Structure 1
Amino acid sequence: MATDGNDPDEALLAGVGRGEASAVRTLLDRRLPRILALSRRLLNDPGEAEDVAQETFLRAWKQARAWKPGAARFDTWLHRVALNLCYDRLRRRRETPTDQPPEQVDPGPAPDAGLLASDLSQRVEAALAALPDRQREAIVLCHHQGLGNIEAAAVMAISVEALEGLLGRGRRALKASLADLRGED
């Protein structure tokens, strides 16, 4: 995917390639929160999400010197790296047999009415986690990461039409899972 040279991260990435500490700090400040949020939503494990974010930026630092401006937007490439690292961890989870089932979060309402907002957030996160992987990724990239359909499709290496199909199915599934919150059945 070619860009028109308007990648806001190109100058910072060049500074990172030269070893400029201020460029590293600025790029981390700009991109780390989004990569952490993506990883947390896909993995549902804050520790693993931090590991993925760290590995993502290590790869970015290694790539910084050889980065070819105009080949792709850095933010799109960074999301793709984080997504691939999340895929790897999710695959390992499926492949790792355990003697005991994992702890399950109680999906019921919180006992304290004052925690209603927290309960709502947990319900939404649980409904999101219950989506098939590709639908969840599309929803997270577009609605939580703020990527446009074209960028999200590029990150997922699919067509825009395929992304829109995933978004539609994911939204319908979320709406059905959370219908009781809106008084629908």
Structure 2
Amino acid sequence: MDIPVTAADATTGLQQRFAGLLAQHQGIVLKVSRAWTRDIDDRQDLIQEISVQAWRAFPAFMPEKAAFSTWLYRVALNVAISQQRGRRLRQRHHADVEPDHLEQLASPAETVEDAAQLAQLHALIHSLPSMDRALLLLHLDDYSHQQIGDVLGISASNAATRLHRLRQQLRQQANPTPNARG
């Protein structure tokens, strides 16, 4: 005798599948949230919002079109960029500026020098425009130009060009050439 599958059973299965995939790829959510927020409370809010939006969109996820990690990156970046726009609008309308809070890093640096370099990297990432920040995160995660394009909704060649320009810009910032004296 077959036991009928109810809608609740199907929902439970979907929830378990989503929770497993999200746990497997939680690093993506953490990287995006760290790149888009400085305050630990804002980071937790962003992580929660990414998770909620990913769950809402999960029934439409098509594994034959994209890997879950690519899909999750796209959701996470869209949520982060939307929240950033919202914060900017609120900041325009409110004079209060929240102080930055220092946080304990998830993977503590081995030395003071490592911690300083990591802090510099995070400051650099926070200073980039949204598209460049997203490009850099995906590149650092070894995504191909095609995958970066898929996540960001641009062509692979556009992703390659933007990434090349971003690397040049970062090299110039890291190694500024002294002005030639005339």
The answer, yes or no, to whether TM exceeds 0.5 is yes
Q: 1:121 aligns with which of 106, 118, 123?
A: 118
Cα deviation for residue 100 of structure 1 reads 4.7
1:94-109 alignment, distance < 5 Å: 94-96=88-90, 97=92, 98-101=94-97, 103=99
Considering only CA atoms, is the larger Rg found in Structure 1 or Structure 2? 2
Where does residue 19 of structure 1 map in the other structure?
A: 12
Cα deviation for residue 19 of structure 1 reads 1.4
Q: 1:160 aligns with which of 152, 156, 168?
A: 156
Match of 1:146, SS state, is coil
Answer yes or no: is 1:138 the counterpart of 2:135. Answer: yes
Q: Deviation string for 1:97-151 (max 9, x for gaps)? A: 242555479xxxxxxxx622211111122222222221121011111x3322211
Q: 1:31 aligns with which of 17, 25, 28?
A: 25
Q: Which has the higher contact order (CA 8 A, sep 6+)?
A: 1
State percent identity of aligned pairs: 24
TM-score (norm 1): 0.70
Cα deviation for residue 39 of structure 1 reads 2.0
Where does residue 4 of structure 1 map in the other structure?
A: none
Q: Separation in 2 of the partners of 1:83 and 1:24? A: 18
Where does residue 78 of structure 1 map in the other structure?
A: 72
Q: 1:179 to 1:55 in 2, by over 3 A?
A: same
User: Size of the alignment, in residue pairs?
Assistant: 158
Answer yes or no: is 1:42 the counterpart of 2:36. Answer: yes
TM-score (norm 2): 0.71
Where does residue 172 of structure 2 map in the other structure?
A: 176
Q: 1:71 to 1:103 in 2, by over 3 A?
A: same
Q: Separation in 1 of the partners of 2:83 and 2:157? A: 27
Q: Separation in 1 of the partners of 2:55 and 2:98? A: 35
Please list every run of 5 or more consecutive structure 2 residues that lacks an aligned counterpart in the other structure.
1-8, 102-110
- 25-34 or 60-69: bigger deviation: 60-69
**Aligned-pair RMSD on alpha carbons?**
2.8
